[in-house]
């Protein structure tokens, strides 16, 4: 049963990035993104309700993105409202001290991710240290390392480290797909512009 969290976390990570790519990058259909948001919210809340460790990790992710203002479209807001409505009605068990630790780690991930996004062009990618910093924060490893640490000392099962890896790499997989789809579109736009100029 516990290994189902690998699947649940993966679906959540992929779904979040689908919504991001639909609204921020205009790659996917916004109506579909808005339609799946409540279902992602239900799965997110369900995953929190059935296990206090999952609840602690997923709430820390929410805290991190809320503090950084990453709930910036109607689909994410709809999903978040569904999550809060369900856990408010049903109640949820949390691990308080791990939540504080993991929420801080999740916030550091978001701060670091924003930093490398803004500074990437000024970093020397030929230097290992710069490549490491970019990869570390781009793939949001602070939270995963924090989960691994408390897993190694026996506070939570180590499978939740794998679940968070599943979450983030499903997210990154959809990001790679959306970028590939975007790159396929660009030559078509350029050809059509040349045709317009020729006429």
- The domain in which residue 138 lies consists of 4-198
What is residue 28's predicted lDDT score, i.e. its pLDDT?
87
What is residue 42's predicted lDDT score, i.e. its pLDDT?
97
What is residue 172's predicted lDDT score, i.e. its pLDDT?
93
Per-residue pLDDT of the chain (199 residues; tens, 9 = 90+): 678 999 999 999 999 999 998 988 888 889 999 999 999 999 999 999 999 999 999 999 999 999 988 888 999 999 999 999 999 999 999 999 999 999 999 999 999 888 887 777 677 667 777 778 888 888 889 999 999 999 999 999 999 999 999 999 999 999 999 888 777 765 544 444 444 444 4
What is residue 187's predicted lDDT score, i.e. its pLDDT?
53
What is residue 129's predicted lDDT score, i.e. its pLDDT?
72
DSSP string, the chain: -TTHHHHHHHHHHHHHHHHHHHHTS--S-HHHHHHHHHHHHHHHHHHHHH-HHHHHHHHHHHHHHHHTT---SHHHHHHHHHHHHHHHHH-----HHHHHHHHHHHHHHHHHHHHHHHHGGGS-TTSHHHHHHHHHHHTTHHHHHHHHHHHHTTSS-THHHHHHHHHHHHHHHHHHHHHHHHHHHHHHHHHHHHHHHH-
pTM of the model as a whole: 0.86
What is residue 191's predicted lDDT score, i.e. its pLDDT?
45
What is residue 124's predicted lDDT score, i.e. its pLDDT?
67
Domain total in the chain: 1
């Amino acid at each position: 049963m516990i290994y189902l969290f690998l699947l649940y976390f993966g679906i959540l990570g992929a779904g979040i990035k689908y919504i991001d790519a639909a609204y921020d990058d205009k790659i996917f259909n916004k109506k579909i993104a808005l339609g799946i948001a409540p279902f992602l919210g239900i799965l997110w809340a369900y995953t929190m309700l059935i296990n206090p460790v999952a609840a602690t990790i997923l709430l820390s992710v929410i805290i991190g993105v809320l503090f950084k203002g990453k709930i910036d479209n109607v689909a994410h807001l709809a999903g978040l409202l569904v999550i809060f409505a369900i856990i408010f009605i049903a109640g949820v068990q949390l691990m308080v001290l791990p939540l504080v630790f993991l929420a801080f780690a999740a916030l550091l991930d978001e701060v670091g991710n924003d930093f490398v996004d803004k500074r990437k062009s000024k970093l020397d990618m030929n230097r290992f240290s710069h490549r490491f910093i970019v990869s570390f924060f781009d793939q949001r490893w602070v939270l995963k390392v924090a989960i691994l640490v408390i897993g190694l000392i026996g506070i939570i099962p180590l499978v939740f480290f794998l679940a968070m890896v599943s979450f983030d790499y499903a997210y990154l997989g959809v990001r790679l797909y959306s970028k590939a789809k975007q790159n396929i579109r660009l030559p078509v736009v350029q050809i059509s512009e040349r045709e317009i100029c020729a006429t």
